[in-house]
Amino acid sequence: MKNIVITLLVLAAGYLAYLQFGDSEKANNNSNNEKFKQRQTTTKVEKRDINFSVTVAGELSPAEKVSVRPEVNGKIAELAVDISDYVKKGDLLFRLDDKDIRIEIDSRKKQIDSANLQLTQSQKEFERASQLYEDDLVSKEVYESAKNKFELSKISRDRAQNDYDLTSEKLSKTSVVAPFDCTVLSRPVSIGQAVSGSGGQSGGTEVMEVADLKNLIILSHVNQSDVSRMKVNQSVSIEIEAVADLIVEGVVERIAPQATIKSGIKGFSTRIKLINTDSSTVKTGMTATIKIPVANSKGVTAAKLASIFTERNDSKQKTETFAYVKQSDGKYAKQMIEVGVSDLNYAEIKRGLKEGDEVSLEKPDEENILDKAITLDGEKVEETKKEDPLVAKYDKNGDGKLDMDEIMDARDKMTEEEKTALREKMRERFGSGRPSGSGRPKGSGRPGGSGGRPGSGRP
């Protein structure tokens, strides 16, 4: 606490000296302003093309990749293809040993024959019993017995047929064919190995992995600040790192509707399809760099990003974008502007500036800025000067500044933030060679409010 009081006393003394020797300070400021004018740089608004692309990384992968597993249990009897083989849709991939199933089918056929024989016999008996019952030659009990026997025979025949159909289907599943035109990526089994069907709890044994290598895609993670400027069916260029000087064309196929976090960055999964690729050169698993064009404007009015500023206007509850336009008398007018697309150096100026306007690359000294700002509609409006919050709070005599007595009275009432602000104010006045007001004001930045490119949303 003692150190803080001493610091404030020293700063207060300095501040008082500044107030008491205002003319001397003004003279120094004038000298500094001359130096500022000498180092002040400007730039001209010009017509130019603006092109900007978002670059993301990704890995090549097949558009379709399938783990091939049998639907039934068995042993591998035949492996019709090997790794790297290309097969057409419907071509045989592998076959399971079907000897036991064929024996079962023969048994099912015999059951069907027996059931059909019983059905034929019971049908004849039922028809004879029905005729005799109508002639009152047999009792109702005899009739009902024949009828029930006939119905049971039909059920037995249907059950035998169903068992045969299921066994036949099981036999058909011992031969597994390619689901689409594909290349065999892996084959981790051998002939004679027992495998389980996919209907089991384990999900079945993987016999092969196949993929369509003629249609490749890239799954990339695009930053949330860039994804809003992308759209489905948008063309992109793709560089394959493993193949020198190879650039292929691609198209944005899908953008995820929900953000995910990858490597601590929030973004959106994006699927990009490669067009007309040579599968002998471009391989799945290769790393690729995708350039997604997000700004492409020809012959637009543009200004350097360094000449564009933003500042929060609390009275209008909005952030204003503006430039300082040099006037014929050497002073600068604060001109409101509307920006469009941008690249790393320039931004499109939609309204507010014209080709040939000379604009400042940094905020001029307050004395060199005209009192009235110019709106987008060309109207000149009075600028509202910001009052120092320390003066507003602790200036008791109403002279618009803090003297020694006011600082001493306020030192115990000031918050840590206010003490820090006072120290910074003193350093700006007495500890820095910068002319007063030559830096960018706190809260002011490049378009976007945080020093980013105008209209880009990028930090």
3-state secondary structure 31-46: HHHHHHHHHCCEEECE
What is the pLDDT, as a whole number, of residue 408?
Answer: 79
What is the pLDDT, as a whole number, of residue 130?
Answer: 92
Q: At residue 422, what is the residue type? A: L
User: What CATH number does the domain located at 68-210 have?
Assistant: 2.40.50.100
Q: Compute the distance between CA of residue 166 and CA of residue 160 in angstroms, rounded to an integer.
A: 10
User: What confidence category does residue 399 fall into, taking pLDDT thresholds of 50, 70 and 90?
Assistant: low
What is the pLDDT, as a whole number, of residue 432?
Answer: 41
The pLDDT tens digits for 184-197 are 999 999 999 999 99
What is the pLDDT, as a whole number, of residue 315?
Answer: 77
User: What confidence category does residue 337 fall into, taking pLDDT thresholds of 50, 70 and 90?
Assistant: very high
What is the pLDDT, as a whole number, of residue 226?
Answer: 84
User: What share of the chain in percent tops pLDDT 70?
Assistant: 81
Poorest-pLDDT segment among 23-32, 111-120, 153-162, 207-216: 23-32
Q: Compute the distance between CA of residue 270 and CA of residue 449 in angstroms, rounded to an integer.
A: 28
Poorest-pLDDT segment among 101-105, 107-111, 271-275, 422-426: 422-426
> Which class is domain 2-50+300-430?
mainly beta
What is the pLDDT, as a whole number, of residue 366?
Answer: 83
Q: Which two tokens stand for residue 46?
A: 């010009």
User: What confidence category does residue 246 fall into, taking pLDDT thresholds of 50, 70 and 90?
Assistant: confident
CB 336 within 8 A of CB 320: yes
What is the pLDDT, as a whole number, of residue 459?
Answer: 36
Q: What is the mean pLDDT of residues 100-114?
A: 93
What is the pLDDT, as a whole number, of residue 271?
Answer: 94
User: What confidence category does residue 435 fall into, taking pLDDT thresholds of 50, 70 and 90?
Assistant: very low
Q: What is the overall mean pLDDT for the chain?
A: 82
User: What CATH number does the domain located at 54-63+215-296 have?
Assistant: 2.40.30.170
Distances from the Cα of 440 to the Cα of 73, 282, 361, 388, 434, angstroms:
75, 50, 11, 16, 12
Write out the E strands in 235-367.
Answer: 235-240, 247-255, 260-262, 265-275, 287-304, 309-313, 318-326, 332-336, 338-342, 346-351, 358-360
- 5 pLDDT higher than 60: no
Angle made by CA atoms 244, 56, 257, in degrees to the nearest 5? 140
CB 430 within 8 A of CB 14: yes
Q: What is the mean pLDDT of residues 6-31?
A: 49
What is the pLDDT, as a whole number, of residue 39?
Answer: 55
3-state secondary structure 61-105: EECCEEEECCCCCEEEEEECCCCCCEECCCCEEEEECCHHHHHHH
pLDDT winner (highest mean) among 111-115, 239-243, 432-436: 111-115
Domain ranges of the chain: 2-50+300-430, 54-63+215-296, 68-210
The pLDDT tens digits for 8-18 are 444 555 554 44
User: What share of the chain in percent tops pLDDT 90?
Assistant: 52
CB proximity list for 181: less than 8 A, separation 6 or greater: 86, 87, 88, 89, 212, 214
What is the pLDDT, as a whole number, of residue 228?
Answer: 83
pLDDT winner (highest mean) among 274-283, 286-295, 321-330: 321-330
Q: What is the pTM of this model?
A: 0.55
Q: Is the pLDDT higher at 9 or at 169?
A: 169
Q: Compute the distance between CA of residue 444 and CA of residue 319 in angstroms, rounded to an integer.
A: 10
Pairing between β-strand 346-351 and β-strand 309-313 as defined by DSSP bridges: unpaired
- 415 pLDDT higher than 70: yes
Q: Is the pLDDT higher at 416 or at 322?
A: 322
